[in-house]
Amino acid sequence: MSNPFSLSDRTALVTGANTGIGQAIAIGLANAGATVVCAGRRECGETVEHITNMGGAASSILVDFSDPMAGQDLFQNQNIDILVNNAGIIRRNDALDFTESDWDDVMDVNLKALFFTTQAFAKSVVNRNAQGAVVNIASLLSFQGGIRVPSYTASKHGVAGLTKLLANEWAAQGINVNAIAPGYIETNNTTDLQNDPVRNKAILDRIPAGRWGQASDIAGAAVYLCSPAARYVHGAVLNVDGGWLAR
């Protein structure tokens, strides 16, 4: 019997794969058998080395998604079957003091680049009459408001909405579009929260699992959503949050 979670003979492109959640997802997909292209505005050499050292196949390309159209040519010369849109940034400030620059910078990377990169991927898949899978990285702030991150919250609400819209349009064309909403994960983006004793305690007190998540906790969900096991899953936003939203 074939393994429904196997990604052998599939090629995946993971954005923001140089560290954190993106790195963990890239390694997880490679463990499941995929060839992985690691894309980011910084070199992804550490991720590629980890994958190749465990016997997998990986490569790295530099792409700066602060240019929302930077992903337009990524799918022209190679057959990519899986796209994981992980690249993202965050800006923190009170809403009364939030700047236009901090708004635009976040929306460009987290939402506009995500849409146009995914559009380019889908065109490639449809033109090849192939099967494709998209996994977007949403957030708990796709469902909640949060504080001091207005552009991030708006962008992640947008990611959840786009995930559903694209699933509606592309499910019948053989493209699965889903998202993962990570909870509080120990990454560079959450360092300030981890180091704030008041916020850190408040966060831990609400998480039923009693701990911050690890980037590797997201990898299994990504493998599932990219695999044949999730072939009939379209437009889902899967919470991987230690039970936060169930509280």
Structural domains in the chain (count):
1
Confirm whether 224 is a catalytic residue. Answer: no
Which H or E run includes 195?
Answer: helix 191-195
Cα–Cα nearest to 221, from 238, 245, 208, 235: 238
Tell whether 87 is covered by a domain: yes
> Is 245 domain-assigned?
no
- What CATH number should be reported for the domain holding residue 147? 3.40.50.720
Would you say 232 and 177 are in contact if contact means Cβ atoms under 8 Å apart?
no
| Residue 93 within any structural domain of the chain | yes
Query: Which residue's structure tokens are 């050499």?
Result: 45
Catalytic residue among 152, 184, 224, 232: 152
Domain annotation covers residue 223:
yes
pLDDT tens digit sequence for 151-202: 999 999 999 999 999 999 999 999 999 999 999 999 887 888 899 999 999 9
In-domain check, residue 23: yes
What tens digit of pLDDT does each residue of 188-242 get? 878 888 999 999 999 999 999 999 999 999 999 999 999 999 999 999 999 999 9
Do the Cβ atoms of 133 and 236 come closer than 8 Å? no
Domain that holds residue 215: 11-240
